[in-house]
């Protein structure tokens, strides 16, 4: 196995410190206890984005085969024409944006809808969004039927049910205090916000 490059190590360090900090902000009662004594320790690893050598260590998969027939079907070339290079990398190649870099990470409107960048399908409402401190937009629920879940190594991937676009991953049982005890960890690049509550 080739030793990772310095930029990859730097990115990994940033992700680990960001995720660990989010954990302690969300679980202040665990301060003073070691990570090895906390039941959520596995969540720290599963919450990390797809970093090549970490993916190999923790069993994540960045290029799953997609055998689902979604209503919106386009060739790879058509998606490349429609999307920016970064949108294509994340939505169609299942990439991950850097933590804290997304447009909607600290975005908390009182009303509105977040829709899929690929097909404009409404996915999340503004009142689904909460501050998880993880570095990515977090939602505790989705528009009914809009988001699908699929196994992704040790994690669960979430996709747009209309076009199959990669949104991020879902984590359960983190005790953020929301009604469903879920965190949809979504890439900002995968969604667009509209202040209008009406479906497009």
Q: Both tokens of residue 186?
A: 């979504």
Annotation marks residue 116 as catalytic: no
d(CA 49, CA 61): 11
The residue annotated as part of the active site, out of 116, 134, 160, 185, is 185
pLDDT digits (tens, 9 = 90+) for 14-41: 555 554 554 444 444 444 444 333 333 3
Q: Both tokens of residue 178?
A: 């929301």
**CA 39 to the chain's CA centroid:** 22
Q: What are phi and psi of 102, to 5 degrees?
A: -80, 150
d(CA 47, CA 101): 16
Local confidence pLDDT in tens for the 200 residues of the chain: 555 665 555 556 555 555 455 444 444 444 444 433 333 333 333 444 444 444 333 333 333 335 578 999 999 999 999 999 999 999 999 999 999 999 998 998 989 999 999 999 999 999 999 999 999 999 999 999 999 999 988 899 999 999 999 999 999 988 888 888 999 999 999 999 999 865 44
pLDDT digits (tens, 9 = 90+) for 79-102: 999 999 999 999 999 999 999 999
Q: What are phi and psi of 182, to 5 degrees?
A: -130, 155
CA distances from 81 to 72, 97, 109, 148, 180 (A): 15, 20, 31, 25, 38
> Model pTM greater than 0.85?
no
CA distances from 58 to 16, 45, 114, 145, 186 (A): 14, 7, 30, 30, 20
């Amino acid at each position: 196995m080739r030793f990772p490059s310095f930029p990859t190590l730097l990115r990994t360090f940033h992700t680990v410190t960001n995720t660990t900090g989010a954990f302690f902000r969300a679980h202040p009662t665990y301060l003073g206890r070691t990570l090895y004594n906390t039941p959520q320790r596995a969540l720290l690893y599963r919450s990390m984005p797809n970093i090549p050598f970490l993916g190999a260590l923790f069993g994540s998969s960045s290029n799953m085969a997609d055998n689902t027939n979604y209503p919106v079907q386009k060739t790879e070339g058509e998606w490349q024409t429609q999307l920016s290079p970064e949108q294509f990398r994340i939505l169609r190649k299942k990439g991950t944006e850097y933590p804290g870099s997304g447009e909607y990470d600290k975005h908390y409107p009182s009303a509105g809808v977040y829709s899929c960048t690929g097909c404009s399908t409404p996915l999340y409402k503004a009142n689904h969004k909460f501050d998880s401190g993880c570095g990515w937009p977090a939602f505790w629920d989705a528009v009914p039927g809009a988001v699908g879940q699929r196994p992704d190594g040790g994690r669960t991937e979430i996709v747009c049910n209309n076009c199959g676009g990669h949104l991020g991953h879902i984590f359960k049982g983190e005790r953020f205090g929301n009604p469903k005890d879920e965190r949809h960890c979504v890439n900002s690049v995968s969604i667009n916000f509209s202040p209008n509550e009406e479906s497009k």
